[in-house]
Structure 1
Amino acid sequence: MKRNVEGNPTKCSGYIQCVSPLKRSEGKGVSYFDGEIQTGKDEIRRFVSFSPEKLDTFESAVALKEVVTLINPRFTVNRGKTEITIAKNTQLEIATKRLEFPRQEVKSKSEEKSINDIAAAGITCTLSAKVISFSDEEHFVQTRYGERKLHTAVIADSTGSVLLPLWGTFATTVKLDTCYKIHNLYTKMFNGQLQVTTTKETRFEVIEPIEDVVSKAPTENATQYFGSISMIQMVNVKKCLYCFKVIDMDDTSVSIVKC
């Protein structure tokens, strides 16, 4: 990386790994997008841009999987990690030189599942699904982190549908009738119903349309029970080797069984 007089790099090269859809900040409603760039063999940094017009360019860079160079980026430290701010004068160009390290394949931190495979609360998963319902009505919920804005959506795949609460800026990320691969969702129980919720590491990736998507939302009064089996009672039974008829060995009145 080349540096200017003040010590801030004037150029930064790497691979754009992922880019989010356009979001809006909760406070001032400013439009922005963020993503990750690989700047070393094992170094991936977050970047954020408050220039929505640059989104198409960054999405193209993800699809190309080529080395790019950021010109005039601004580096900041957030919670001990170096992040890159894409300013209005920051430019993205396809690099002419190859890097000394290969591009990493993006790996999800959670197991990919279908909606029907979600069997319990308290797990992290990745779902590929379509937004079949979205509530424009805003709810403000008091949490331990303060008041937060909440919207509600329903996502579905070919196996089922599930409720997806959208907190804060995620509400401006998703669009109705659009298909996403949603990384790092967390499953939880609420009012007796299993649902998935976003986390700080949740990432939405627009994908091709999914066929045969379930069109019905989950039943609100459906009840599911989850837990661990603590005991199994074994019944003393045997089967005939010829006809496989079950013989109850506890029944003392039975001495001969006719096949």
Structure 2
Amino acid sequence: MDEKIGNLKGGMENINVTARVLEVGEQKVVQTKNGPRTIREVMVGDDTGRVKLTLWGNQADEVKEGQIIKVENAWTTVFKGQVQLNAGSRSKITESAEESIPEADQVPENSPTDDSPPRRSFRGRGGRRGYGGHSNYGGGYRRKPREGEEGGEEEE
């Protein structure tokens, strides 16, 4: 079953959306941890709102302004409080004959937002680190005592 754009929230996966392509951005190459990837940002909308859809890899060639598309197996992210839709190699984009999608000038201006606190992920960042030697967890740094100090301990 298709999700409505106005109901999208950050962190959703395996989303299916049918929407009209409102704007097609230029293709860009971005650097990722897996090397350079081609992306294209596209604004899509339905009768509940509009959202930025980032097309990754081969998907970047497949859409045209004004076209109605069905996006399958997409996922959402949040950037600066705005929900964004993403379609990558496991996603499928096809032209749709859906007639209930409004014309571009009838698509509401509102975009889905997600004001929930960002999830902190330490994946790929080397894990948590201790700070200033005050932790037994991974810190490893302890400043040398200054002249007149003993072993770096504070005096009361």
Please give the range of the TM-score, normalised by the shorter of the 2 chains.
0.5 to 0.7
Task: Indicate yes or no: 2:87 matched with 1:198.
Answer: yes
Q: 1:183 aligns with which of 58, 72, 87?
A: 72
For residues 67-122 of structure 1, what are the alpha-carbon distances to aligned partners after superposition, in whole Å with 9 as ceiling and x for unaligned? xxxxxxxxxxxxxxxxxxxxxxxxxxxxxxxxxxxxxxxxxxxx521111213323
Q: 2:23 aligns with which of 133, 138, 142?
A: 133
Pair 1:160–1:223, CA change in 2 (3 A): closer
The separation in 2 between residues aligned to 1:211 and 1:112, in whole angstroms, is: 12
Q: CA deviation at 1:218?
A: 5.3
Q: When you count strand as a share of all residues, which structure comes out higher?
A: 1
Q: 1:167 aligns with which of 34, 53, 56?
A: 56
Pair 1:210–1:182, CA change in 2 (3 A): same
Aligned residue in 1 for 2:9 = 119
Q: CA deviation at 1:217?
A: 5.4
Taking only aligned residues, the RMSD between alpha carbons, in angstroms, comes to 2.3
Higher relative contact order (CA 8 A, sep 6+): 2
TM-score (normalizing by structure 2): 0.63
Aligned residue in 2 for 1:249 = none
Q: CA deviation at 1:150?
A: 1.7
Aligned residues of 2:71 and 2:87 also touching (Cα < 8 A): no
The separation in 1 between residues aligned to 2:16 and 2:107, in whole angstroms, is: 20
Aligned residue in 1 for 2:41 = 152
Aligned residues of 1:132 and 1:154 also touching (Cα < 8 A): yes
Pair 1:153–1:218, CA change in 2 (3 A): farther
Q: CA deviation at 1:216?
A: 5.5
The separation in 2 between residues aligned to 1:176 and 1:191, in whole angstroms, is: 25
Query: Structure 1 regions of 5+ residues with no counterpart?
Result: 1-110, 228-259
Pair 1:116–1:211, CA change in 2 (3 A): same
Letter in 2 for 1:119: K
Alignment of 1:1-259 (within 5 A): 111-135=1-25, 137-208=26-97, 209-213=99-103, 214-215=106-107, 224-226=114-116
Query: Structure 2 regions of 5+ residues with no counterpart?
Result: 118-156
SS at match of 1:138: strand
The count of corresponding residues between Structure 1 and Structure 2 is 114
The separation in 1 between residues aligned to 2:7 and 2:81, in whole angstroms, is: 18
Letter in 2 for 1:152: E
